Chain A
Amino acid sequence: QSALTQPRSVSGSPGQSVTISCTGTSSDVGAFNYVSWYQQHPGKAPKLMIYNVTERPSGVPARFSGSKSGNTASLTISGLQAEDEADYYCCSFTGRLYVFGTATEVTVL
């Protein structure tokens, strides 16, 4: 199972919006609405930000949103804030197993 493809990095100024793509195949992202997104700050454990493509856990700011079209899922951060600077990973169910994305570094300029 190959890792899902994410851009290596994205950046934006405070208040701007950034979108991270996550491209898989018809066997993972395209097959199930079980895409989740995780935020990881340096030296810390990952934190769940979005699940089931669009659902946001309690406590996660509303500026984080998710979507999916075909084999590509996306995470959008609207109104970028300094504390959003981190690595982000997508993850998809593949039937029995799970596959993570290649990670995207978000930089707040």
Chain B
Amino acid sequence: QLVESGEGLVQPGGSLRLSCAASGFTFSSYWMSWIRQAPGKGLEWVANIEKDGNEKNYVDSVRGRFTISRDNAKNSLYLQMNRLRAEDTAIYYCAKYDFSHFDSWGQGALVTVSS
């Protein structure tokens, strides 16, 4: 099970940190990802992080502004979002990545960037 938290309304240029609490599987054995969905739009992969947190990858539109991290001792995944823009408004899902696919998803956290 994956449960996101930290959703909210933030002004353009502001920051927000999302968290994802994992349970029911060995968190430290899996890559994890963040995937987002703008209102009424399709899915967009945002970032992923290797099991030990050493390798991280980002979509071009967030690289340099967002940071993915994890704490295996707390079974938690994080997404630090800085310099937020209106186009970052979306539901953010955390997802467990099993080698080639996303086999478990959280319920999502709504991030709204607006003045």
Contact = CB atoms under 8 A, between A and B. Distances in A.
A pairs with B: yes
Interface of A: 1, 3, 34, 36, 38, 40, 45-48, 51-52, 57, 89, 91, 93, 96-103
B42 interface: yes
A89 B41 CA distance: 11
Interface of B: 33, 35, 42-45, 48, 57, 59-60, 93, 98, 100-108
A102 B42 contact: yes
B103 A89 contact: no
Contact of A103 (B33, B42, B106, B108): B42
Contacts, number: 56
A102 B107 CA distance: 21
B90 to A, nearest CB: 13
B104 to A, nearest CB: 8
A36 B53 CA distance: 24
Contacts of B93: 45-46
B103 A51 contact: yes
B105 A46 contact: yes
Contacts of A47: 105
Contacts of A3: 42
Nearest to A89: B43
B101 A34 contact: yes
Contacts of B98: 51
B100 A45 contact: no
A90 to B, nearest CB: 10
